[in-house]
Amino acid sequence: MASKSPSAAQIKYLRLGRYQPGGKLPLFDPNGQQISKTVIKSCLKKGWVQTWFENPIKPDWLVCKLTEEGVRVVDKYGNRH
- Summarised one tens digit per residue, pLDDT across range 19-48 is 999 999 999 999 999 999 999 999 999 999
Task: Check residue 80 and give its pLDDT.
Answer: 67
Q: What is the percent of the chain where pLDDT is above 70? A: 94
Task: Indicate left, alpha or beta for 47 from its phi (over 0: left) and psi (-120 to 50: alpha).
Answer: left
Contact 17, 70 (CB under 8 A): yes
Runs of H (alpha helix) within 1-81: 8-15, 37-46, 68-77
The sign of the dihedral angle between the CA atoms of 26, 40, 73, 67 is positive
Q: How confident is the model at residue 3 (pLDDT cuts 50, 70, 90)?
A: low
pTM over 0.75: yes
What average pLDDT does this structure show over 58-77?
Answer: 91
Cα 28 vs. chain centroid, distance in angstroms? 11
CATH numbers and ranges of domains, the chain? 8-77 (1.10.10)
